Amino acid sequence: MLSIKKIMKNIISTLVIVVTIFSTFQSNIFAQVAGNQFDSHPMHWARYWARAVFDRNLIYAEGWNLGTIEGTRWPGSEGLNYLGEAIFFVGSYVTDMQGYQGTVIPDERDGAQFGIVSDAYLPHVSNATVAQLSSDRSHQQIWQPFPGYFNDGFYGFIYGINEDVNGDGELDPSEDVNFNGVLDINLDPPESILKSMAVSTDKRTWPEYWPGGSYIGDTRIPAGRPPKTSLPGLRKGLWNGEYKAGPIADQETLYMMDDHENDYWNDYTPLRYWPMKNPDGTPDTTKWVNTDSDKLAIAGSGIEVEARTYAWFHPLAEDLLVNVYRVRNYSDHDLNRVVTGMWADPNIVQSTFNAADFIVAEFGAGDEGRLSFDILYVWHKFPDQLNTFQKVGSFGFGFLESVYRKSMIIELKRTDLRAEQEWPIKVYYDDEIVGDFYIDINSLIRINACY
C-alpha cells in the first residue's frame, strides 16, 4: 500500500503492485459513444463490465475491469487455490461541503474531514440485495469501467478492429484473425457468456479505435465524459501498449475506471462532497437520476485509474502478475491526503489453517502519513498434512526493485559498509568504450590481510 501526500488537480501519480503467486462505418463520425439501445443513461457504465483470464505463466487468475483479481491458482489452471479476491482501492480525505451548496467554494475552507473510499468490493449480501447499491436502486456505488477500451460488439457501439490491415480490400492469410475465411470490417468479440477485456494476445477483444488521449503522442482530442472518439488515431488496429504501439509482456490487459458513481456519502450520510464545480464556481450538485441528459452526474472523489496487468512466461517471472495503476485526480479540487492499496482475501488451498505475516498500519495524528509499514504474505500452517500431491506455496505482494534497492542501502549502512546507488561506470570492450552505465548498488568493502 502506498501513501501519497497530495494529488493536485490533473497531476498523475503511479502505483505499481506486483502480485506473486467503435467500428462504425466511415460515414459515422461518432465511432464510440457511451450508451446503447438497452441503457440510455450516458454515465451508467455497469454495462461495460468485462473479464479477462491470465493464463500465460504459472499464475492462473481472473481479472475484471473494476480493479479486481480473483480465482488465482498456481501452478496453472489445474493448480491449487491461493487467492479468493484482491481489490484495488483509493481512499481520499475530503472536507464536508454541505455549508457551501449554492455558493462559491473557496480553496481553503472549514468543515468536517471524512474519507471517501472507492473500490469494487462486492460481497454477497442476499438474493434480494446488491452490494453497495444506491438507496434508489439505480446504480452501484463502486468503480465503473470506461467504455471504449474493448470490443463490445455491434450492440454496444464499440466495435472490433478491421482485418484489412494493409487496406487492399482483400483478406490475406495473415490478416484472418478469427480464421473464418471472410474479410471482417469489424471483428466480432469472442463468443462467450461474459464480455472480455482487451487482451494483447487476442485481437478479437481490441476496439477499432482506442479512446482519444489514451497514449503518449495521441493528437486527438481526449475522449472526455462520456467518452466519445471520432478519429482512428495512430494506434488503429495496434495494441495500445504503455511504452509503444505493441506489448512488452507475453500477455497484457488495459482498461480505465473511475468513481463517478460512488455517491455513497451524499446518499446515506449527512456529509456532502461534490468533486466538480459549475462555471460560476459553485459545486455541481447534480444527482444521479436527473432529467437533463446534458447534465452529467459525477460523484466520488473525482479519481480515475488507468490499469494494466502484465504476465511473462520467462522462468524468472513465471510466478508473477504485475499490476500498474496510474491514479489521476480529474476533479476541480486538490486532494491533500490519498491512500492507495489492495484489499486481499487469500485462501491457501483451503480456508482453515491459513497464517498471515503482516502488521496493522499506523498513521500519525497530523500530516506525518504512515508511521509503520509491512506487506502481506500468507501461507498454510500445515502444508504436509494437506491431502494433495502438489507442492504448496505462499501468496503475497511484492515491491518494485527500486524499493528493495533502497532498503538494501539502509541495511548495508547499518553494518558500516559504504554503499552508493546508481554508481556511474564506463564499460569497455576490447579497450574500446561501449558506453556509460550505472550500477544499482556499489558497496566498498575493505578486507585486512591476516598474518
**Residue 417 pLDDT:** 76
Q: Does 155 lie in the same domain as 102?
A: yes
**Residue 373 pLDDT:** 56
**Residue 395 pLDDT:** 73
Q: Does 391 lie in the same domain as 431?
A: no
Q: Does 323 lie in the same domain as 422?
A: no
| Tally of domains within the chain | 2
Residue 262 is assigned to a structural domain of this protein: yes
Q: Does 339 lie in the same domain as 285?
A: yes
**Residue 16 pLDDT:** 39
Residue 273's alpha-carbon distances to 111, 195, 224, 259, 338, in angstroms, are: 11, 34, 22, 13, 15
**Residue 7 pLDDT:** 45
Which residue, among 330, 342, 382, 52, has the nearest Cα to 197 in the 3D structure? 52
User: Which of 399, 417, 436 is a domain's end point?
Assistant: 399
Q: Does 232 lie in the same domain as 190?
A: yes
**Residue 368 pLDDT:** 60
**Residue 20 pLDDT:** 42
Residue 276 is assigned to a structural domain of this protein: yes
Note whether 23 and 208 are within 8 A (CB): yes
**Residue 291 pLDDT:** 56
**Residue 30 pLDDT:** 28
Residue 131 is assigned to a structural domain of this protein: yes
Q: Does 438 lie in the same domain as 294?
A: no
Residue 404 is assigned to a structural domain of this protein: no
Which DSSP string do the residues of 184-248 spell out, in sequence order?
-SSPPPP-SSS-B--BTTBGGGSBSSPPTTSSTT--SPP-TTTTEE-S--TTTTS---SSSSS-S
Q: Does 142 lie in the same domain as 46?
A: yes
Q: Does 428 lie in the same domain as 309?
A: no
Domain of 349 in residue numbering reads as: 2-399
User: Which of 381, 399, 417 is a domain's end point?
Assistant: 399
Q: Is 283 exposed, middle or buried (0-12, 13-18, 19+ CB in 10 A)?
A: buried
Q: Does 94 lie in the same domain as 163?
A: yes
Residue 210 is assigned to a structural domain of this protein: yes
Strands 68-74 and 418-429: unpaired
**Residue 251 pLDDT:** 94
Q: Does 384 lie in the same domain as 361?
A: yes
The β-bridge partners of 153 are 158
Q: Does 322 lie in the same domain as 174?
A: yes
**Residue 78 pLDDT:** 81
Residue 284 is assigned to a structural domain of this protein: yes
User: For the chain, percent helix, then strand, then coil, each to nearest 5?
Assistant: 10, 35, 60
Which helix (H) or strand (E) element contains residue 47? none
Residue 224 is assigned to a structural domain of this protein: yes
Average pLDDT for consecutive 10-residue bins of the chain (451 residues)? 38 40 28 43 79 89 91 83 86 89 83 89 60 83 90 72 72 73 73 82 88 88 74 88 92 94 91 91 83 73 93 86 90 89 79 61 60 65 66 70 74 77 82 80 56 50
Q: End-to-end alpha-carbon separation of the chain, Å?
A: 52
**Residue 29 pLDDT:** 26
**Residue 12 pLDDT:** 37
Which helix (H) or strand (E) element contains residue 4? strand 2-4
Q: Does 131 lie in the same domain as 81?
A: yes
